[in-house]
Amino acid sequence: MTNPLIGIWPARTVHSTRQEGIRLGLIVGTVTWLWVALVDAMTGRPWHTFSMMGGVLAFTVVHYLLNVTYGMVLLSVVHSAERAPSVIFGAIFGLLLFEGAFAMFTNILAESSVGSVAWVGIVGGSLIGTAVAITLLSRTHPLVQYLHRAEDER
């Protein structure tokens, strides 16, 4: 089965942190936004998470701004790993911290307003978004090669 996102992320691209980061952020933002909306709809409470987080429009604007920022930071780190492969270790550590922060944030939301469905919607969306980002980045950047070069530097 072919991933439908592959068509919008070419295997070869001119490396521009800004352009690639914006594109990656928009793709990851769309995937995670749709995931949250789907989880809300499947639980019989459409738009619940969005409403609890400021409304659909406010949530969407902030969500995309954060995802574009995430994409640009991620691309900046990956492009830095081309010159200094050990940076890839920092990227892995940063992604683990980021996912841990999302889990803590979700726990707070689950207790206060969104409810237990927040775990599936928010943490699930974050994990799916990270998987999509890594999949797309691995098409245009030799991430595994960076990791091997970083191990050789030690």
Distance CA 92, CA 103 (A): 17
Quote the tokens at residue 97: 């911290």
Per residue in 25-57, pLDDT (tens digit) is 999 999 999 999 999 999 998 998 898 889 999
- 85 — phi, psi (to 5°)? -55, -25
pLDDT (0 to 100) of residue 3:
57
What are 87-130's pLDDT values in tens digits? Answer: 888 888 988 998 888 788 888 877 776 677 777 888 889 999 99
Given CA atoms 51, 54, 60, 65 in this order, what sign does their dihedral have? negative
Report the distance separating Cα 121 and Cα 33, nearest Å: 9
Tokens linked to 102 = 């999302």
